[in-house]
A and B are shown apart, each in its own frame.
Chain A
Amino acid sequence: MTQPLLNITGLHKSFGTQQVLRNIDLAVQPGERIAILGASGSGKSTFLRCLNFMETPSAGSIELGGRMLGSEGRNGARVYAEKELTQLRQRVGMVFQQFNLFPHMTAIGNVMEGLRTVKGVAPAAARERAMAELSRVGLADHAEQYPARLSGGQKQRVAIARALAMDPELLLFDEPTSALDPELVGEVLGVIRSLAEEGRTMLLVTHELGFAYHVATRVLFIADGEIHEAGTPDEVVKHPQRERTRAFLARHREFSL
């Protein structure tokens, strides 16, 4: 085994007295595509958001590229310096369910923003790079449009281009198609599939079982804040061993078939 890109050990997260994640261990090898399934409220989104510190883990540790993040705090929880987190987030891209495009900037402005403000890339170079990313998601001809003029699927593709422009080593997708009209889901999944074919490392929280089955190298089923079942897509989606996984999948198939 090569060194994991991401190594998560004993991850816990609580909001007040409510435990949302408990004792999650996961090692992600470079090039792996991990689909995360689970009912709403299971903690799957919170888990993803802990990985780029949109939420700060309450306990446990995360290693990225062999380096342990944060430093030892007082009561078991690690503490993280703002500077370390801004650097980490440049290496971990995130795509949100609600797109979160910057509405006061054009599509290309959105994609350039991280390059310009965070990486300090010169305007011409940033524009060229942003244009290349927009072409990759098929939106070169929409570069000068404001988000308000784009469809949901186009917005999400711009959001993907925005994340890609930063050259992330790891991509996090938080239900990237859940806010889309059904006829727009395909174009976004198509882009994600092409990224998978490039061998990018990604974690994807999704309700698209078929997509998880065909694109992921590994599937996790999360319930009650724990990894309830994990394995290859075939093992988890086709031949689940545990009762809750089966019930979850059965509920989903009722609607998707």
Chain B
Amino acid sequence: MGYQWNFAPVFEHADALLYGAVGTLRIFAICLVLGLSFGLVVGLMRYSRRRLLNWPATAFVEFFRNTPVLVQILWFYFALPMLVPFEISPLMAAALGISLNSAAFSAEIFRGGIQSIEPGQWEASRALGMTGLQAMRRIILPQAIRRMLPALTNRAIEIFKMSTLASAVAYVELLQQGKLIASLNFNPIEVYTVIALAFFLFLYPLVRATYALERQMARSDSGGD
């Protein structure tokens, strides 16, 4: 293959890439917080035996798990403004789509994690006179979150990568900026190589950090009681 790689034109637009990176980090942060916290609420509703809580949560999970995020983002951007009295920005549309999708998936992680805690932990909490909410907050969730950490890390990585879908509604993030640079310089090969590496450089340290966190947690309690 005689292709001459030339990365110089890509880095001439380093400021644009940096701007895109900031956009990527912003939507990642928003969707991580919204997606996981809403996922926790939905997961708790799914865990509940009350049908009034359980049923809407199940419907939510099934709907958002079984529709493509890209379609959701496009729908929020193009169709939702017809139904609500305010403007929907690209960030809002993309953040809604990604957050709700992540909420649906992480709800299942939370539900599974909570269910994996031995019934004896609930009993010991209740026997002390704790309410269900106190037991959940002090005893069940802290243990469940340790067990869920690998799965939640996967979720975070997914959210980070899904942020590229926001380029479909022209939200300024890394991929969107890359597309722009590629269309100016006709160098998609180098641009997308750089974008892919940039994502790797963001995510790999994040993953290493959670491994370290898991190891540290395993040290304080090695296995059941």
Interface residues of A (CB under 8 A from B): 52, 54, 82, 86-90, 93-94, 96, 98-104, 113-114, 117-118, 146-148, 155, 159, 162-163, 166
Contact = CB atoms under 8 A, between A and B. Distances in A.
Interface string B131-169: 110100011001100100000000000000000000000
Contact of A114 (B118, B129, B132, B143): B129
B121 A102 contact: yes
Contact of A96 (B124, B138, B139, B142): B124
B15 interface: no
List 5 A-B pairs, minimum CB-CB distance, nearest first.
A100-B124, A90-B129, A114-B128, A100-B120, A94-B127
Given A87-B129, A118-B129, A146-B220, A100 B138 contact: no
Nearest to A150: B225
A213 B128 CA distance: 29
Nearest to B120: A100
Nearest to B132: A82
Interface residues on B, range: 20 to 34
A102 B225 contact: yes
Interface of B: 118, 120-121, 123-124, 126-132, 134, 138-139, 142-143, 146, 220-225
A2 B14 CA distance: 86
A99 B225 contact: yes
Q: In this complex, which of B118, B139, B143, B146 has the most chain A Cβ atoms within 10 angstroms of its Cβ?
A: B139
A146 B221 CA distance: 6
B122 to A, nearest CB: 9
B30 to A, nearest CB: 30
A216 to B, nearest CB: 22
B225 A86 contact: no
Given A96-B123, A117-B138, A103 B224 contact: yes
Tell me the interface secondary structure of chain B in the complex.
Answer: helix
Contact of A54 (B127, B129, B142, B222): B127
Given A94-B127, A98-B120, A100-B120, A147 B225 contact: yes
A162 B131 contact: no
Given A104-B142, A104-B143, A104-B220, 13 more contacts: A54-B127, A89-B126, A96-B127, A100-B120, A101-B225, A102-B121, A102-B143, A104-B146, A114-B129, A118-B130, A148-B222, A148-B224, A166-B128
Given A100-B121, A103-B143, A113-B138, A54 B126 contact: yes
B130 A100 contact: no
Given A102-B121, A104-B146, A118-B134, A113 B221 contact: no
B127 A89 contact: yes
B221 A104 contact: yes
A96 B131 contact: no
Nearest to A162: B128
Q: In this complex, which of B121, B132, B221 has the most chain A Cβ atoms within 10 angstroms of its Cβ?
A: B221
A102 B124 contact: yes
B124 A103 contact: no
A163 B129 CA distance: 11
Contacts of A166: 128-129
Contact of B225 (A89, A117, A155): A155
A144 B49 CA distance: 37
Contacts of B221: 103-104, 146-148
Contacts of A87: 129
A100 B143 CA distance: 13
Q: In this complex, which of B121, B123, B129 has the most chain A Cβ atoms within 10 angstroms of its Cβ?
A: B129
Q: In this complex, which of A101, A104, A163 has the most chain B Cβ atoms within 10 angstroms of its Cβ?
A: A104
Contacts of A93: 127
B213 to A, nearest CB: 14
13 contacts: A54-B127, A89-B129, A90-B128, A94-B127, A99-B225, A100-B118, A100-B120, A100-B121, A101-B124, A113-B138, A117-B134, A166-B128, A166-B129
A146 B118 CA distance: 18
A54 to B, nearest CB: 6
A242 to B, nearest CB: 33
